[in-house]
Chain A
């Protein structure tokens, strides 16, 4: 294989192949990230410019007081996520995370169905006093005001 090829050449070929593979990995990653990253929405954004039906996205907001219901099958729940400006109905089948309660912050991973309901695969609730999902941080001020207004 390497007979007749000068060492410098062999090294260069190796470096070029390795670089090509790594650059290829970078390009592939960039392309895949553009198509596979799931975008984060708050309810008002989702209402104004809804994502395509079936596209995986995240929805973050506050669980509206009095909206949490368990459907007759006993395992599917429905609730409304709101940010003070818009309300999005959400459906989730599964066991809700610890500390998931009305009035708390939540991030739902899932997709919109054709009827405009957000079908969640996963719910991430606020873990404890110290944890607010980064995406939620920007809106805590407005959010908290709304939440406080409701509990009064």
Chain B
């Protein structure tokens, strides 16, 4: 019954999306036919509620391990811990697509409920667009990936979940990323809506920006968490592999970051109209392209999902309709909205434009690198593209972007002179030069780690400079947000550079009782013992690690075996200090009774993820500031209205 209920809710939601599209479109053409247009907002809300119910039904099926449902039988197991049963609901193709439409309809419901500041015509166009995009994904879900399909008879037991995916971090990784990916659909709908009505201006940017910010925060957290997952779960000691799945999440983030910055230019200065609209389209397009590349199996990767050319074709058609349609609309309409305010190159806008161009260039580089294997395969040559391409080529554009990021926030809007901010610039330059000299004397580094280390500290200094001379208690939250996000980026950069410059690696075959040295650590292997969990057994290496001869600390990496489906994974052991992490992996036993150990000392590696979280926190503060301002304004207008009414009443009497 639950499955049928979920499916019915989904069909109903799809029908409402069609109604929402129809009502919105006809209201737009009719120039404001009151009754039809009044339908759009309530329909959007009900549609959101229905998809939420449908998703809740799927969750319930997984909680109960209802093995008569194909998806549950294929992805769950009665012996699995509850939390992974839940995660099983979205850890597969059908469930994650249901999550996709749930988020999409939910976001549409939210703007229908909350957003009252745009002209109603633009709002109708936006909601109609959101419904139009939603319809395609409903069709995809209902016609080619029905998550509620039943088996002719219940399976005796489920087929489990890939144990690599059985991890608390990963369990919540897809929902976070999806909130980000699909949240960007609002940017797409706002952009298309504004193009349709031609109302692209500061008001449009002010309305769109907090929604983009919301999606972008989730994307940032999702990417950060995903990187940490890959770091400790894959047991390779790396934190970013330029894998297609990772690139698929990075590309919308790059576009979203550019969009946030150009939207603030549009909101504050009414410039970059066409550019902002295009980024709005591009950001969500990147989400869809990324999902398509992963889902179609056209690019396989270590994270491999189900591969299905039929589904790939379906999504490609959707992409062609939505992205192609939006870009055609853009090409037709952009000419009429392109005029905006002027500004000088040395100004806040100038710096932001530079940042946008550099971010777009990096986006292009990542996209080309991801697609290149496809391109060569069309000519019969198989290649893979990895860090030797991505790292240096993206750095060529990232470095100038970071330099301008240091100076940009110090500049004024519209027009400024560099001479005015000479003092801070000299300070930043001095920090850079001193650090560079010190590092060059210390020891030889690779060019990229050296640049990263020498840039990160002055960047961190520069990021807090906008605070100087301001009253910190009265500073708007948005400024705090910017400062913290930029500071976080500097921290992350420092972590990345420190990891690649200072990591010490040791590979050893150790007998029980052997001591291995790695960097400042001495690690003793005390024993290897079998241990068991709810659905796995493991060999656990008991080790004690001591930092510079200090108190020994126990660590225990494992080699786990799962039984449904039978599979092995490596569980690395991490020991975190303020200045870095010890990373230990237990390998196989050799023929002569020694154990393979792989140890890394990674100074300041945790800065990467702390930095990422700081960036997200910065975004959150900016969003909070915006929400607080809105609330205050709402309260104020309400008060004014009440007073007005009282006044009228008093006058009437």
Contact = CB atoms under 8 A, between A and B. Distances in A.
Query: Do A and B touch each other in the complex, judged by CB within 8 A?
Result: yes
Interface of A: 1-2, 7, 10-11, 14, 17-18, 21-22, 24-26, 28-30, 32-33, 36-40, 56, 58, 70, 73-75, 93-96, 98-99, 109, 122, 124, 127-135
A74 B592 contact: yes
12 contacts: A1-B415, A29-B369, A37-B376, A37-B384, A74-B508, A74-B592, A95-B585, A95-B596, A96-B588, A127-B304, A130-B304, A132-B300
Nearest to B299: A134
Interface in B372-410: 372-373, 376, 381-386, 388-389, 392-393, 396-397
A96 B454 CA distance: 36
Max chain B Cβ within 10 angstroms of own Cβ: one of A2, A11, A36: A36
Interface residues of B, number: 62
A95 B598 contact: yes
Interface in B543-594: 559, 565, 567-570, 585-588, 590-592, 594
Interface stretch (B185-193, B207-215, B337-345, B443-451): B337-345
B306 A28 contact: no
Given A29-B393, A36-B385, A93 B162 contact: no
B615 interface: no
Looking at chain A's contact residues, the main secondary structure is: mixed
B274 to A, nearest CB: 10
A79 B569 CA distance: 22
Contact of A17 (B357, B369, B384, B388): B357
B587 A30 contact: no
Nearest to A32: B393
A21 B369 contact: no
Instruction: Give the top 3 A-B pairs by smallest Cβ distance, nearest first.
Output: A74-B509, A95-B587, A25-B361
Interface in B280-323: 297, 299-300, 302, 304, 306-307
A38 B230 CA distance: 22
A58 B384 contact: yes
Nearest to A122: B236
A14 B345 CA distance: 9
Given A36-B393, A74-B508, A95-B507, 13 more contacts: A1-B415, A10-B342, A22-B364, A28-B393, A29-B393, A32-B389, A74-B592, A75-B509, A94-B598, A95-B586, A98-B567, A98-B569, A134-B300
A109 B357 CA distance: 34
A1 B416 CA distance: 9
B78 interface: no
Nearest to B506: A75
Max chain A Cβ within 10 angstroms of own Cβ: one of B343, B357, B373, B586: B357
A134 B302 CA distance: 11
A1 B353 contact: no
B481 interface: no
B415 A39 contact: no
Given A22-B357, A95-B570, A29 B384 contact: no
A30 B376 contact: no
B435 interface: no
B117 to A, nearest CB: 29
A21 B356 CA distance: 11
Contacts of B49: none
A2 B302 contact: no
Given A74-B509, A75-B508, A95 B235 contact: yes
Given A2-B342, A130-B306, A37 B598 contact: no
A74 B596 contact: yes
Contacts of B596: 74-75, 95
Contacts of B162: 128
B639 to A, nearest CB: 42
Contact of B364 (A11, A29, A128): A29
B491 to A, nearest CB: 27
B300 A40 contact: no
Given A127-B164, A128-B567, A25 B365 contact: yes
Given A32-B393, A99-B568, A37 B304 contact: no
